[in-house]
Amino acid sequence: MVQYAFTPWRDRRELLAVRRQFYPDLVEGRRSVSSGHGHDHGHGQAMPRQSVRHQDAQQSAVARVSVWMQRGHCPHMVESTALLVAAALSDAADSPAMASYAVRAAYAAAFSRFVTGLLDGQQDRARKLSMYSLARAIGLPAAFVELRHQATHESLPSLARLRAAARRALLWIWQYYWMQLGPVGTAADAAAADAAKAAPDDEPSPQDRSADRACREAVLRYVDETVAAGPDAARTTLADPDHTDRDTLDRYVQTWGRARVLAVLSAVSPTDSDKGSHSRVLRCIRLSQVVLQQPRKRSEEQKQTADNVNLVQGRQALDSADADEQDRVDDVMALDSQPEHDPEAPASRPQWARYEGDWKPKPIGVV
């Protein structure tokens, strides 16, 4: 009997493209696999610096794996790779808002989920084994189990230790899962490389950038004008939106598209230095709600118009059927009102005649 395996990716080429995006150095042969196991140099430093192109590719791979997780049937190793790479990307962002504790928490959550999910999948229901026994059976370093226990039940490990553990975990996942998909440099891997280069790294065209700039200027100008006009002019509710807002937003959507208008409205954020920024953000939120509601209202109006047309057509059909039925009734009544002319029976052949002669009864059944 044929057994089907459901996968969240479209084909094998898409999976290999994600592998190339996660491990660009290992796939392209610029780094040996054993470099992370022999000695972890730079324990106190962040993950090795990569080019902006590779970071964008890894970010695209993380986003694609998140879509796979929503579809279901995503392997745990793929999910763990995405979580560890996402933590490393947040560590390399150098954002002042990203505190050290937040980076440690991201590393700890990704690492704990990686170890726990991997070992729970190896557990035997009939005979429970310890995590150290399961780790020894599949070749997982015991230090991973110890670090998982510390991150779960004790205080968070240091950032340097978490960075080194994440680097070692990614290399272990490469050997345990990704490298088993096939050798690097095959025709399928080359096709995956072409697919990975084509989609995520394309920059927007000059026409798209010009349209984005024009849409942003027009939408923000309208928002600022309505906010400056006062609270009465800026008041827009979902129950009774202003017709001016509807007409203006419909014109913007027809010119630049619904997604671009919503992106401009959602990009507005409040600032502490500007007291009027909160009114501006509130105005953008209400306008976004109006834009999101417009297609539904338009479809309801179109449906109501179609229902009205169907109702008129139905009434016309009923009227026509009633007229035809009335014509048939009139014809029948006209025929009933005419006198019947029964032809006279000929005298030689009366309808009834007296039997002449002796009558002899015959028993039933006798011929």
List pLDDT tens digits, range 331-343: 767 666 655 555 5
pLDDT band at 288 (very low <50, low <70, confident <90, very high): confident
Model-wide pTM > 0.85 = no
pLDDT for 8 equals 92
How much is the pLDDT for 166? 95
- Does 65 score more than 70 pLDDT? yes
Considering the chain, what percentage of its residues have pLDDT values greater than 70? Answer: 68
pLDDT recorded at residue 36:
42
Mean pLDDT across 40-59? 66
pLDDT digits (tens, 9 = 90+) for 293-350: 766 555 555 556 666 666 777 777 777 877 777 777 677 676 666 555 555 555 556 6
User: Which residue in the block uniquely carries the two structure tokens 């226990």?
Assistant: 149
In angstroms, rounded to a whole number, what is the distance separating the alpha carbons of residues 49 and 163?
A: 13
pLDDT value at 238 more than 50: no
Confidence of residue 185 (pLDDT cuts 50, 70, 90): low
The Cβ of residue 94 has, within 10 Å, a number of other Cβ atoms equal to 7
Mean pLDDT over all residues of the chain? 77
Band the pLDDT of 202: cuts 50, 70, 90: very low
pLDDT of residue 300: 54
pLDDT tens, 18-31?
A: 999 999 888 776 55
Specify the higher pLDDT residue, 110 or 361. Answer: 110
Q: Is the dihedral of CA 145, 146, 147, 148 positive or negative?
A: positive
Q: What is the mean pLDDT of residues 69-80?
A: 94
Tokens, residue 213: 């700039």
Please give the pLDDT value at position 41: 45
Spatial separation of the C-alpha atoms in residues 56 and 77, rounded to whole Å: 21
pLDDT digits (tens, 9 = 90+) for 114-166: 999 999 888 877 778 889 999 999 999 999 999 999 999 999 999 999 999 99
**Side chain identity at residue 285, one-letter code:** I
Question: How far from 58 is each of 17, 23, 196, 200, 255, CA to CA, in Å?
Answer: 11, 8, 11, 10, 34
pLDDT interval class at 40 (50, 70, 90): very low
Instruction: For residues 199-206, give the mean pLDDT.
Output: 56
- Range 282-295 average pLDDT: 78
pLDDT at 337: 62
Q: Tell me which residue of 98, 117, 115, 116 sits closest to 159, measured CA to CA.
A: 98
Note whether 254 and 302 are within 8 A (CB).
no
DSSP letters, 326-346, are HHHHHHHHHHHHSPP-PPPPP
What is the dihedral sign for C-alpha 15, 17, 19, 22?
negative
The Cα–Cα gap between 121 and 119 comes to 5
Using an 8 Å Cβ cutoff, are 26 and 33 in contact? yes
What would the mean pLDDT of 226-240 be, rounded to a whole number? 59
User: Is residue 222's pLDDT more than 50?
Assistant: yes
Label residue 256 by pLDDT band (50, 70, 90). Answer: confident
Looking at per-residue pLDDT, the higher value among 57 and 205 belongs to: 57
pLDDT above 90 for 74: yes
